[in-house]
Amino acid sequence: MCELLAMSANVPTDIVFSFTGLAERGGVTGPHVDGWGITFYEGKGNRTFKDARPSSQSHIAQLIKSYPIKSEIVVSHIRQANRGGVSLENTHPFTRELWGRYWTYAHNGQLSAYEQKFTSSRFQAVGDTDSEMAFCWILEQVLQRFGNTAPENMNAVFEYIAKLADEIRTLGVFNMILSDGIDLMAYCTNNLCHITRRAPFGKATLIDTDVVIDFQKETTPNDIVTVIATRPLTNNEQWQVLSAGDWRLFRRGDIRIEHTAI
């Protein structure tokens, strides 16, 4: 299956270290060779880089590893295709506009018998993946539930999205990253974990390649950075592993909602 990577931080932060580890799983230490993508938020705007080539061989991925784009929210994905061909339009993350904001989404897993459920009018899939169809359906349901104007209580929106994700999980594996550029949501079916780094910072060592970073030299005492991944990216830190039905909502690096399935 695919792998996910995301970041929520309280200051603009680069994700070079974590992405360097993830990119190795796209053909070197992992079988995810069917494309990759990454989205960086900058205020209300975002910039997305995608490539249908494996991340370990992509010149665009090499740019991301060497050019420290700083952002408070990042969503990334490396693909092992199961639904839909290997093509740019089927490469995650996917982005749509809702309530005057860009929503970005990536999915890990495989769904079955979903075609009749994922009907949508305003939000249409461009490619032919179950992932993109699920994203369009989620936004369609949110629009029908809350209307054309964003509610003041966005927590209620993400709580509703979690219920929709519970429905989707009955169709197969559904690990999801979703962001509106302010909050970052992580929903787990079987493989998802996160780590929050804050002072006092220490050193971290990547699992997939021989890279070590001393975060104390790269941060200030006030920095808070949370990284979410399908599997831990470092071998000397304590990652928090989510279980089926668990989900978290992060804002500026901190947990805003922590839901643990019963």
H helices present in the chain, as ranges = 16-24, 59-66, 130-146, 154-169
Choosing from 2, 136, 188, 193, the catalytic residue is: 2
Instruction: State how far the Cα of 225 lies from the Cα of 38, in Å rounded to an integer.
Output: 17
Q: Which candidate, 164, 171, 99, 172, places its Cα nearest to that of 135?
A: 164
Instruction: State how far the Cα of 27 lies from the Cα of 192, in Å rounded to an integer.
Output: 20
Instruction: Please check whether residue 92 is in contact with residue 131, taking contact to mean a CB–CB distance below 8 angstroms.
Output: yes
Instruction: Please check whether residue 99 is in contact with residue 151, taking contact to mean a CB–CB distance below 8 angstroms.
Output: no
The DSSP code sequence of 219-241 is --TT-EEEEEESS-SBSSS-PEE
**2 assigned to active site:** yes
State the Cα angle at 77 between 76 and 83, rounded to 5°. 150
Instruction: State how far the Cα of 185 lies from the Cα of 172, in Å rounded to an integer.
Output: 19
The DSSP code sequence of 115-132 is TTT---SSS--SS--HHH
Active site residues: 2
